[in-house]
């Protein structure tokens, strides 16, 4: 006896989970969901019109990205970054990008040099547009990691990517003069173009360290987040 079916295409659960993760990541990174906010599966599922399964999987992946913290028997919350977190994130990022820069130079091809020049010029073209400048700047750094060809380094950097975006959105005035940010890449580009591996490593490491120093100078003392942020709930009680 055959079972009648409707002939409907199956739902791609992985794609659904990724879409939920992207929506939540954007909400966290842009500040719509503030640090310390509770993330209630049922409410998120209701808001997005999905079941709780994809939400649960999305929250697990965001925890891997460092944007969500899950507490036993208390559910998930948006991560709150301490000053020590800032130090760790930017010191690690500086080390990774320094090594990536060295590897790029040591394995430079005409194509990778062309891509770097285009990414650098794209930054200079939007120096009067701070929002677009931040986008092009991040694209440059991502390209650097990609061109390094260092798979384990790329894996480590990619795990920081969402956290890097988190800080970028909250600290939009690290370089009041946009041209100052754009030209922070000049030394590294000179080293890339002349084949100076050591110079490229130092330039990228110091650039990222400078960003980290600026972030730390403006980051609140631990526990100083607004009470309203810490107490903010997404969806009320329950999990």
Separation of alpha carbons 160 and 193, rounded Å: 27
Separation of alpha carbons 98 and 156, rounded Å: 13
Pairing of strands 68-71, 38-39: unpaired
List, in order of start, the domains of the chain with CATH numbers.
Answer: 13-80+227-234 (1.10.10.10), 83-218 (1.20.120.530)
HEC readout, 4-70: CCCCCCCCCHHHHHHHHHHHHHHHHHCCCCCCCCEECHHHHHHHHCCCHHHHHHHHHHHHHCCCEEE
- Give, for all 239 residues of the chain, the pLDDT tens digit: 455 544 444 445 568 888 999 999 999 998 899 999 999 999 998 888 888 999 999 999 999 999 999 988 888 999 999 999 999 999 999 999 999 999 999 999 999 999 999 999 999 999 888 888 888 999 999 999 999 999 999 999 999 999 998 988 876 666 777 777 778 899 999 999 999 999 999 999 999 999 999 899 888 887 665 443 443 333 332 32
**And the tokens for 171?**
């600290």
Separation of alpha carbons 59 and 155, rounded Å: 20
Separation of alpha carbons 51 and 72, rounded Å: 22
The alpha helices in 107-129, defined as continuous H runs, are: 110-125
């Amino acid at each position: 006896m055959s079972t009648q079916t409707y002939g409907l295409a199956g739902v791609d659960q992985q794609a659904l989970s990724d879409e939920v993760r992207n929506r939540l990541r954007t909400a966290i990174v842009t500040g719509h969901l503030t640090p310390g906010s509770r993330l209630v599966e049922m409410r998120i599922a209701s808001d997005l019109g999905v079941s709780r399964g994809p939400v649960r999987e999305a929250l697990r992946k965001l925890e891997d990205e460092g944007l969500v913290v899950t507490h036993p028997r208390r559910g998930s919350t948006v991560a709150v970054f301490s000053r020590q977190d800032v130090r760790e994130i930017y010191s690690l990022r500086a080390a990774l990008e320094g090594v990536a820069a060295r590897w790029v130079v040591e394995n430079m091809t005409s194509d990778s040099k062309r891509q770097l020049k285009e990414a650098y010029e794209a930054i200079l073209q939007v120096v009067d547009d701070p929002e677009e400048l931040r986008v092009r700047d991040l694209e440059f750094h991502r390209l650097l990691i990609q061109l390094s060809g260092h798979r384990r380094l790329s894996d480590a950097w990619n795990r920081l990517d969402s956290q890097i975006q988190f800080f970028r959105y909250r600290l939009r005035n690290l370089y009041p003069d946009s041209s100052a940010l754009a030209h922070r890449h000049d030394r590294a580009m000179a080293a890339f173009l002349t084949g100076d591996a050591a110079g490229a490593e130092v330039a990228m490491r110091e650039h990222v360290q400078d960003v980290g120093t600026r972030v730390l100078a403006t980051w609140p003392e631990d526990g100083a987040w607004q009470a309203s942020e810490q107490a903010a709930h997404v969806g009320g009680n329950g999990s």
